[in-house]
Amino acid sequence: MKNIQAHTLKRSLCLFLSVLLVLLLIPVTAFAESTGIQPRVTSPMTGYSTASQTVYCGPSTTIYASTGSIGNGEKVYVLGTERGYYHILYSVSGGQKMGYVPQSMIRNVTGGTPEEDDFNGGYAMMEGNYTVWSCNDPSTAVSIGSVNTFEGATILADFVRNGTRITFIEYSSPSGTKRGFLFNAQFSMPLPTCVARVVSSSTLYYGCRPGKTYAVSGSVSTGEYVCVLSINSSGWAYVEYNSTAGRKRGYMSSSSLSYYHKPSNINTSYGRDYSLEVGQGVTQTVYSAPSPDAAPIGTVYSGDMIFYYGPGPESNGFNYIEYYISGTSTLKSGYTLIND
């Protein structure tokens, strides 16, 4: 009986050690320990570049800024796919970068089947000045830009690894839209929002009140990503988006958007309801979004009459207003530091 028990114990111990060895041999990836909003990638695959080529910050050669280049035959790690592009990790001097290249430009992808990226974030306002980093590993990341206090950004993913909060964002730069990572950044997400992809190129307007004429605030192209701040019953979506002049906001048809995890309680209006026309006491720059880093869109002067909506949900000192373009019946909307 003792021999049988000893043999059983020995077999159990061997089985335990075998399982432990297998677990120890499983590669730990950049996304292994995570909580909260996170990318869907579970283990990186490998592939090889078919030619020397530019790597972009996102899945477009026209919307996104360049983040570097890879050489012919260079080995890369494939983290996922997005609309015909591979999301890759590659080596650079002093570290690593993430970026995007067309799938047709990477060959011999092995190690699994890349999944389509999924974005479960939305609009966020920065609560400090932060460096933006090239990948989600602090030990190999290099600086690729920065975001400032009160600046808006699109949160694509937000998770924790080894005690470090890692936030994957999309933000504006003069050279084009960028994506990158923040480490232990503080930001607010003051209202239910979501990420959406533009499925039909659209013009955006400064407002959508019936019976009013609004100026064009800009445009978005198919494939761009926006933060959806509100959707009203008439089908107008109020969005914040990237431009080379800074973040902008405007109203567009909600049917031109494909939503990622749209919250059931998304706002049907933005800011306070219309209250009254008031006299403007000082000269103020008007910005397209509630941040001094947003694109400036105009100026209101002493004596101008404005439609005053009060502070938006950000509570950062900016107030949401509408005003007439001088000498016209056409309205713009934006944000100033006018006091209540």
116-146 tens-digit pLDDT = 999 999 999 999 999 999 999 999 999 999 9
Q: Looking at the DSSP assignment, which residues form a beta bridge with residue 130?
A: 147
Q: Which residues contact 99 (CB under 8 A, 6 or more apart)?
A: 55, 56, 57, 67, 68, 87, 88, 90
Phi-psi region of 271 (alpha: psi -120 to 50; beta: other; left: phi over 0): left
How far apart (Å, rounded) are the C-alpha atoms in residues 118 and 37?
Answer: 10
- List the structure tokens of 126: 């920065």
Q: Which helix (H) or strand (E) holds 19?
A: helix 2-25
What is the pLDDT confidence band of residue 194, given thresholds at 50, 70 and 90? very high
Tell me the pLDDT band of 30, cut-offs 50, 70 and 90.
very low
Tokens of 70: 């890879």
Q: Which of 44-58, 241-255, 281-295 has the lowest mean pLDDT?
A: 281-295
The three-state secondary structure class of 24 is helix
CA atoms within 13 A on the CB side of 76: 33
How would residue 18 be classed by pLDDT, with cut points 50, 70 and 90?
A: very low
For residue 230, pLDDT over 80 is answered with yes
pLDDT of 246 over the 90 cut: yes
Tokens of 1: 């009986």
Backbone conformation region of residue 79, classed left if phi is above 0, alpha if psi is from -120 to 50, else beta: alpha
Query: Do residues 182 and 157 make contact, with C-beta atoms less than 8 angstroms apart?
Result: no
The whole-number pLDDT of residue 316 equals 85
- In order of start, what are the domains of the chain with their CATH numbers? 45-110 (2.30.30.40), 122-188 (2.30.30), 194-260 (2.30.30.40), 276-336 (2.30.30)
Task: Say which residue, 68 or 33, is predicted with more confidence.
Answer: 68
8 A C-beta contact, residue 124 and residue 140:
no
Give the model's confidence band at 319: pLDDT under 50 very low, under 70 low, under 90 confident, else very high. Answer: confident
Confidence (pLDDT) at 3: 42
Q: Give yes or no for residue 239 having a pLDDT over 70.
A: yes
pLDDT, mean of residues 302-325:
83
Q: Which of 158, 161, 46, 21 is nearest to 112 (CA)?
A: 46
Which residue would you say has higher pLDDT here, 2 or 148?
148
Angle CA(90)–CA(94)–CA(96) in degrees, nearest 5?
A: 25
Query: Higher pLDDT residue, 160 or 276?
Result: 160
- Residue of 338, 305, 320, 220 whose CA lies nearest to 267: 320
Quote the CA–CA distance of 212 and 14 in Å, as a whole number: 78
**What number is the average pLDDT over the span 58-66?**
97
Contact 331, 324 (CB under 8 A): yes
pLDDT band at 338 (very low <50, low <70, confident <90, very high): low
**Cα–Cα distance list, 125 to 27, 130, 134 (Å):** 35, 12, 20
185-199, 270-284, 296-310, 315-329, range with the lowest pLDDT: 270-284
Please give the mean pLDDT across all residues of the chain: 85
User: How far is the C-alpha of 259 from the C-alpha of 158, rounded, in Å?
Assistant: 18
The pTM for the full model equals 0.84
Amino acid identity of residue 256, one-letter, is S
Q: Please give the average per-residue pLDDT across 165-187, as a whole number.
A: 97
List the strands of the sheet with 187-188, edge to edge. Answer: 143-147, 130-133, 178-183, 164-171, 152-161, 122-126, 187-188
Distances in whole angstroms, Cα of residue 133 to Cα of each of 99, 109, 239: 12, 26, 26
Q: What is the pLDDT of residues 260-287, one digit of tens each?
A: 999 999 988 776 544 445 555 568 899 9
